[in-house]
């Protein structure tokens, strides 16, 4: 492939609205262009990378026994009403009408469509298990499209769905898909972690996210050397033990105009750790009092899961006043009636706690669980925080890293088969619900996340396996017969080994060609110039080993070094 013949419009500067390094580099290297907010065009270079990632994923899906299908991108509303997601999905769902005014949505995922397909054709246990997958454009009207193709409104996803006779079979298959996803991440050359996650709008009982480690990641991961890892929105909290103290008598104290936890703690010469923070929430229209320790924060995702509510929000001022009979800031569990109370595990451990008195300008101290208040539910409902002990090994402190979620695997169970009545007949002729798993991975997001993880000041540094080209040959002057001859010889020999090669045949200064090669991030650069060639040498430079610099080698040596290096990378040993 000749550079001069390809559409690679590189830019010196990134547009000012490119908000993250991967987006800047993708635009500058001529991989993508922006059409409108969250909508991008993939140019030839970008599409080459996308196809390579797609092929790795396809191979792993086929190896896991998957069969590729292609589902429509437009789904009828009726299917989405069956599962209730027409309403639950909210504004992220792109909705449209046809000429007869019938309503549809653009695919954000395809659980409904694929479950419908299966329920029509699968009747017997003999047809199970089955796994179907596709590469398809997904549409989500993200509230804040950003970070280029990382959070766009139209993106390429591989989505897979597996169907099983029972939970045991799903469990077995889920492990297989977990391994397939791990292989994908290894083969794409990522530093990554697979962590436990919350299931969000897709639902189901259990899920893992595959996170690419990068400081710019939107997600936070809590992890431990013992092997535990979770999205911090899901991470379990280790119960904080408090030394038990002798219980003193409860006492009301006047705290004029002090209501923030740390102010009250200071006022009483105590610590936020002694405080029971009480927040009034509305969960599916019913009020709930939620208690956490003063230095902890409520994890609304855990709370919502615990309550099984489809929506939770903080109560407004009027509701708080009507429930606590006091202005906002003075709520406490003592004497709080006619409301469900949910307490965090750490709260009930506090002896002689401080809390609001449900009375303006008053707090109570020496509050003890059971003696002074009760809770309807005691559970882990707080956010994990720095200094927390790992809930698995119960020894080490948790560590925190930023990550970009590229893939998400879910055990759905019967969530969709139940609402859509997808059943099969078992060996006894009895009807059972089909048990499901689903597995998504963002192809466009992988591409951007790779750059986020692997770049330097000069541009992208592609891992060999997904680079748009593995080798760039730069003839300093392609019009020179001798240079042209060596260029073509190297090109031919490397092509025969199956490598993708770009020849920069442009009539440009060497400096410009080097800059573009670095920007585009091609793993190996072979430069052929008159001076070195006079001594029978060419230059070889690996993009990722900047400090190793340039090696002068005979053309045959350069060829074999590149072949060996790329084979090593392909074997995942790089
Ligand atoms: P996020 O929490 O980042 O919004 P999600 O939980 O909504 O992600 P899933 O529904 O699990 O994502 O989708 C599977 C994969 O699709 C994600 O892991 C990600 O790689 C990709 N993806 C999701 N939303 C987008 C988007 N707006 N742009 C690009 N890729 C996306
Ligand atoms: Mg999302």
Domain that residue 505 falls in: 461-573
**Residue located via tokens 């059943």:** 423
Residue 144 in domain: yes
Mutate to test the pocket of ligand 1, among 37, 152, 442 (most ligand atoms within 8 A of CB): 442
Element (H, E) at 365: strand 362-367
pLDDT at site 239 = 75
Question: Is the domain of 258 the same as that of 370?
Answer: yes
234 pocket-lining for ligand 1 (C-beta < 6 Å): no
Enter the tokens of residue 61: 């899906």
| 13 part of a folded domain | no
Residue nearest to atom 14 of ligand 1 (CA): 440
Task: Please name the residue that has the structure tokens 């003075």.
Answer: 330
Ligand 1 binding pocket includes 468 (Cβ within 6 Å): no
pLDDT digits (tens, 9 = 90+) for 280-312: 999 999 999 999 999 999 999 999 989 988 889
Ligand 1 atom closest to the CA of 410, numbered from 1 = 11
Residue 509 lies in a domain: yes
Give the 3-state secondary structure of residue 434. Answer: coil
Q: For ligand 1, what atom is nearest to the CA of residue 108?
A: 10
Whether 208 is in the pocket of ligand 1, judged by its Cβ within 6 Å, is no
CATH code for position 324: 3.90.960.10
Ligand 1 neighbour 409 (Cβ under 6 A): no
| 158 and 50 together in one domain | yes
For the cut 90, the answer to whether the pLDDT of residue 490 exceeds it is: yes
DSSP 150-212: GB-SEEEEEEEEEEESSHHHHHHHHHHHHHHHHHHHHHTT--EEEEEE--GGG--SEEEEEEE
222 φ/ψ angles, rounded to the nearest 5 degrees: -105, 130
Q: Are residues 212 and 259 in the same domain?
A: no
* Domain boundary pick from 318, 348, 379: 379
Output the CA 109–ligand 1 centroid distance in Å. Answer: 10
Residue 231 lies in a domain: yes
Mean pLDDT of the chain: 94
**Does residue 90 sit in the same domain as residue 108?**
yes
What does the alpha-carbon distance between residue 480 and residue 532 come to, in Å, rounded to a whole number?
14
By the 8 A CB rule, do 227 and 255 touch? no
Q: Are the beta carbons of 418 and 433 closer than 8 angstroms?
A: yes
**How close is the Cα of 563 to the center of ligand 2, in Å?**
41
Q: Convert the pLDDT of each residue in 268-282 to its tens digit.
A: 889 999 999 999 999
Report the distance separating Cα 197 and Cα 206, nearest Å. Answer: 8
Q: How far apart are CA 185 and CA 407, in angstroms?
A: 9
**Structural domains counted in the chain:** 3
CB 447 within 8 A of CB 149: yes
Q: Is residue 428 part of a domain?
A: yes
Contact between residue 542 and residue 531 where contact means Cβ atoms under 8 Å apart: no
Considering the domain architecture, whether residues 268 and 168 belong to the same structural domain is answered as no
What CATH number does residue 228 fall under? 3.30.930.10
From 135-139, 253-257, 557-561, the region with the lowest mean pLDDT: 253-257
**Is the separation of the CB atoms in 123 and 425 below 8 Å?**
yes
Shared-domain flag, residues 143 and 187: yes
What is the position in ligand 1's atom list of the atom closest to the CA of 140? Answer: 27
- Residues 306-346 have pLDDT tens digits of 998 888 999 999 999 999 999 999 999 999 988 999 999 99
- Band the pLDDT of 573: cuts 50, 70, 90: very low
The whole model's pTM is what?
Answer: 0.88
Residue showing tokens 């080798």? 471
Q: What is the pLDDT of residues 156-180, one digit of tens each?
A: 999 999 999 999 999 999 999 999 9
Q: Report the pLDDT averaged over residues 182-210.
A: 82
Question: Minimum-distance ligand to the CA of 406?
Answer: 1
- Return the higher-pLDDT residue of 284 and 572: 284
Predicted local distance difference test score (pLDDT) of residue 199: 59
Buried b / exposed e across 267-293, counting CB within 10 Å, b at 16+?
bbebebebbbbbbbbbbeeebbbbbbb
Domain end marker among 433, 452, 471 = 452
Q: Please tell me if the CB atom of residue 140 comes closer than 6 angstroms to any atom of ligand 1.
A: yes
What is the C-alpha separation between 351 and 545, in angstroms, rounded?
A: 58
Q: How far is the CA of 74 from the centre of ligand 2 (A)?
A: 19
In a domain, residue 16? The reply is no
How many Cβ atoms from other residues are within 10 Å of residue 136's Cβ?
Answer: 18
Name the closest-CA residue to atom 13, ligand 1.
440
Ligand 1 center from residue 514 Cα (angstroms): 35
Is residue 36 predicted with pLDDT exceeding 50? Answer: yes
Cis peptide before 9 (omega within 30 of 0): no
> Where does the pLDDT of residue 67 fall: very low under 50, low under 70, confident under 90, or very high at 90 and above?
very high
Q: Same domain, yes or no, for 54 and 193?
A: yes
- In sequence order, what are the residues at sequence separation of 6 or more whose Cβ sits closer than 8 angstroms to the Cβ of residue 273? 242, 293, 294, 295, 350
Residues 190, 88 within the same domain = yes
In a domain? residue 447:
yes
Please tell me if the CB atom of residue 404 comes closer than 6 angstroms to any atom of ligand 1: no
**Residue 244 belongs to a domain:** no
Q: What is the mean pLDDT of residues 202-226?
A: 85
**Number of other CB atoms surrounding residue 1 within 10 Å:** 16
Q: Are residues 60 and 197 in the same domain?
A: yes
Please tell me whether residues 257 and 317 are part of one structural domain: yes
- For the domain that residue 468 is a member of, what is the CATH number? 3.40.50.800
Phi, psi for residue 488 in degrees, rounded to 5: -70, -35
147/287 same-domain check:
no
**Do 94 and 219 reside in the same domain of the chain?**
yes
Q: Determine whether the shortest distance from the Cβ of 22 to ligand 1 is under 6 A.
A: no
Last residue of a domain, one of 410, 429, 452: 452
What is residue 574's predicted lDDT score, i.e. its pLDDT? 41
pLDDT tens digit string along 366-387? 999 999 999 999 999 999 999 9
């Amino acid at each position: 492939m000749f550079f001069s013949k390809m559409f690679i419009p590189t830019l010196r500067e990134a547009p000012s609205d490119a908000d993250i390094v991967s987006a800047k580099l993708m635009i500058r290297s001529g991989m993508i262009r922006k059409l409108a907010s969250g909508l991008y065009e993939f140019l030839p270079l970008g599409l080459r990378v996308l196809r390579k990632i797609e092929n790795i994923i396809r191979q792993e899906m086929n190896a896991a026994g998957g069969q590729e299908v292609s589902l429509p991108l437009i789904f009828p509303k009726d299917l989405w009403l069956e599962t209730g997601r027409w309403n639950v999905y909210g504004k992220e769902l792109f909705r449209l009408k046809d000429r007869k005014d019938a309503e549809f949505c653009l695919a954000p995922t395809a659980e409904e469509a694929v479950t419908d397909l299966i329920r029509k054709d699968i009747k017997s246990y003999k047809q199970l298990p089955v796994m179907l997958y596709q590469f398809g454009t997904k549409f989500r009207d993200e509230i804040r499209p950003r970070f280029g193709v990382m959070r766009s409104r139209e993106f390429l996803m591989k989505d897979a769905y597996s169907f099983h006779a029972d939970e045991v079979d799903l469990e077995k298959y889920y492990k297989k898909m977990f391994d397939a996803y791990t292989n994908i991440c290894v083969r794409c050359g990522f530093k990554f972690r697979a962590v436990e996650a919350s299931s969000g709008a897709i639902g189901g009982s259990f899920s893992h996210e595959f996170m690419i480690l990068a400081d710019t990641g939107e997600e936070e991961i809590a992890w431990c050397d013992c092997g535990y890892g979770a999205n911090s929105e899901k991470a379990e909290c280790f119960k904080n033990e408090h030394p038990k103290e002798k219980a003193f008598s409860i006492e009301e104290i006047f705290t004029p105009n002090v209501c923030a936890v740390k102010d009250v703690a200071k006022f009483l010469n105590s610590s936020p750790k002694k405080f029971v923070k009480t927040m009034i929430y509305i969960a599916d229209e019913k009020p709930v009092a939620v208690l956490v320790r003063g230095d902890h924060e409520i994890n609304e995702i855990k709370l919502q899961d615990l309550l099984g509510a489809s929506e939770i929000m903080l109560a407004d001022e009027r509701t708080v006043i009507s429930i606590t009979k006091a202005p906002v800031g003075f709520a406490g569990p003592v004497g709080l009636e006619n409301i469900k109370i949910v307490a965090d595990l750490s709260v009930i451990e506090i002896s002689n706690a401080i809390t609001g008195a449900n009375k303006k300008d008053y707090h109570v101290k020496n509050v003890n669980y059971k003696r002074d208040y009760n809770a309807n539910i005691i559970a882990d409902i707080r956010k994990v925080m720095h200094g927390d002990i790992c809930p698995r090994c119960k020894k080490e402190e948790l560590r925190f890293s930023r990550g970009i979620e590229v893939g998400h695997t879910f055990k759905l169970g019967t969530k969709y088969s139940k609402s859509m009545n997808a059943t099969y007949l078992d060996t006894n002729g009895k009807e059972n619900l089909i048990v499901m798993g689903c597995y998504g991975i963002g192809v466009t997001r992988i591409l951007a996340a790779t750059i986020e993880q692997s770049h330097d000041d000069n541009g992208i540094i592609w891992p060999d396996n997904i680079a748009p080209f593995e080798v760039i040959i730069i003839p300093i002057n392609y019009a020179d017969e001798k240079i042209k001859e060596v260029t073509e010889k190297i090109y031919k020999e490397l092509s025969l080994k199956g490598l993708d090669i770009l020849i920069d045949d442009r009539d440009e200064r060497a400096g410009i060609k080097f800059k573009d090669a670095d920007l585009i991030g091609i793993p190996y650069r072979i430069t052929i110039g008159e001076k070195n060639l006079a001594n029978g040498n060419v230059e070889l430079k690996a993009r990722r080993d900047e400090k190793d610099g340039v090696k002068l080698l005979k053309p045959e040596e350069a060829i074999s070094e590149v072949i060996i290096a790329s084979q090593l990378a392909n074997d995942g040993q790089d």
